[in-house]
Every structure is written in C-alpha cells, then in structure tokens.
C-alpha cells in the first residue's frame, strides 16, 4: 500500500484544511495584524502605513456605479489583543452623498454601510450578525441560536463616520471577546450602499455571495496573524513511495 512521507502528509493535511475553509465561503481572504493603540475618531493617522488595502469592488446590485467618482471604496483591517477587538477603516469616495434624516428612513433610501460578521466561523456552521450603520438607521439582524450573535448589540461597537469633501471615512472597533484568537479566521463582509440624487441605487461588497446577513458561506475570510508573520508561496511536487508487505 502507498506510504506518504511525513512532510508530504503534513502538507496535504494543511492544504486540505485551507481548501475546506476557503471553499466553505466566498473565496476572498484578507489578513489582519496587530495594531498600535487606535482612537475611533475617523482620523486614520494612527493606523500604520503598512496596513493592506482591500478593494470593495464586487458589484452585486442591478444598478452599477457610473465611474470611480460615483463610487470607489476600500477598507483596512487589524486587531488588538489588549482589548479583544477587531478594527476596520473604510475609505469611500462618492461624489453625491445622500443622507435620509426622515422618520421613514430605509436601508435603500440613502448612502450607508452594512457590516456582516460571523465571529465564531465554525467549519460545521455558525451564524451571522449584521449591523446597518447610518446617522438615522442603526439596526441589527441576528440569529438567536448562535452564542455570539444572540448577544450581539451596538454595545460591542464603537463607530464614527467623518465626511471630508467627496470622501467618507468609517472607523469601527468590534469587541469580539474570546472569539479573537491569533491564528483563527473570522467571517466578514459588508455592503456599501450608494444612493444618488437622480434616484439610482447600487451597492458593492468585498466578495461575492447572496443573503450575506444570514448566510455565513457568502462572507469573506479574515485571518488573524501574529506580528511580523510573513506570507509565502509554496511550490513543489507531492509524491508517495510504494512498498509491499
């Protein structure tokens, strides 16, 4: 029967686990590293210049932005073990900011941002909590069967939005408690909503997937890595030795 070399077997196990994780979700992967002390104020000057930028350019709505001036966005992510929190910084370019301050405000009547979080991110399945954020509309969709989502509330969040000309800066801190562990993966995604004065409406996300507010398989993956952990590409041939008894 075939006998795998120890190193080969180890690589196969690692590759299998990685593939299972990615195939279970929408395929987009980001990496979060430790951050220095961050003040949630919409000023990103305390974020390190080396933090990667991930484009929010998956356009899933029927309507599409006209150009990059109409909509363009990216986000950055990191974490702090000291306060068990995930940090997010969104930079959104929009030449026509619409804010609905009426009592009838709806999710599609203005510009806004909705975050989708699967904090437990279990291979066998867990649940999503979604957070809709705007000046007059802050609601939550969540499952009651999942230990994290059933207790999800805005008390876990610290959020600020600052507008500078055609740019909106959203800064978030999410207290994940004991779900924040180095080496693990979180399920994360969001929709950025763009309402224009001519009545057109579109939304863009990080990765593909439908019903993100309830479907963890439609979320992207954020892997929490230790400081100075470099990513590398591995290549080579995998083989086995045939032996007989």
pLDDT in tens, 125-134: 789 999 999 8
CATH number at residue 17: 2.60.40.1190
Domain membership flag for residue 118: yes
According to DSSP, the residues that pair with 170 across neighbouring strands are 90, 161
Q: Are 207 and 118 in contact (CB under 8 A)?
A: no
pLDDT in tens, 56-73: 988 876 766 666 766 889
Q: What is the domain extent for residue 9? A: 2-230
Domain membership flag for residue 238: no
Residues in the chain: 245
- Average pLDDT on 170-197 reads 93
Please check the confidence at residue 21 and state whether its pLDDT lies above 70.
Answer: no
- Rounded Cα distance between 99 and 90, Å, is 18
How many domains, the chain? 1
Domain membership flag for residue 63: yes
pTM, to two decimals: 0.83
Domain membership flag for residue 225: yes
> Binning pLDDT at 50, 70 and 90, where does residue 203 land?
confident
Domain membership flag for residue 34: yes
Please check the confidence at residue 7 and state whether its pLDDT lies above 60.
Answer: no
- The two tokens of residue 66 are 């006209």
Name the nearest CA neighbour of 188 among 209, 158, 161, 167. Answer: 209
Domain membership flag for residue 239: no
Instruction: Look at 42-56, 105-119, 141-155, 222-236 and tell me which has the smallest mean pLDDT.
Output: 222-236
Domain membership flag for residue 13: yes
Domain membership flag for residue 242: no
């Amino acid at each position: 029967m075939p006998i795998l070399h120890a190193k080969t077997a180890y690589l196969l196990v690692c590759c299998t686990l990685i593939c299972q994780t990615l195939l279970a979700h929408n395929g987009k992967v980001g990496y979060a590293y430790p951050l220095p002390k961050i003040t949630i104020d919409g000023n990103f000057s305390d974020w390190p210049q080396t933090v990667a930028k991930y484009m929010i350019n998956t356009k899933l709505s029927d309507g599409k932005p006209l150009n990059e001036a109409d909509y363009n966005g990216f986000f950055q992510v990191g974490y702090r073990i000291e306060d068990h929190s995930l940090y997010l910084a969104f930079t959104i370019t929009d030449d026509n900011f619409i804010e609905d301050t009426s009592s009838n405000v709806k999710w599609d009547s203005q510009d806004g941002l909705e975050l989708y979080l699967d904090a437990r991110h279990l291979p066998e399945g867990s649940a999503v909590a979604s957070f809709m954020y705007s000046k007059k509309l802050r609601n939550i969709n969540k499952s009651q069967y999942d230990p994290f989502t059933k207790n999800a509330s805005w008390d876990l969040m610290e959020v600020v939005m600052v507008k500078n000309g055609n740019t909106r800066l959203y800064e978030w801190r999410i207290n994940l408690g004991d779900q924040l562990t180095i080496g693990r993966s979180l399920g994360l995604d969001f929709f950025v909503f763009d309402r224009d004065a001519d009545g057109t409406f579109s939304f863009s996300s990080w990765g593909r997937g439908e019903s993100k507010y309830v479907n963890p398989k439609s979320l992207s993956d954020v892997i929490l890595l230790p400081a100075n952990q470099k990513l590398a590409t591995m290549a080579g041939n995998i083989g086995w030795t045939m032996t007989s008894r």
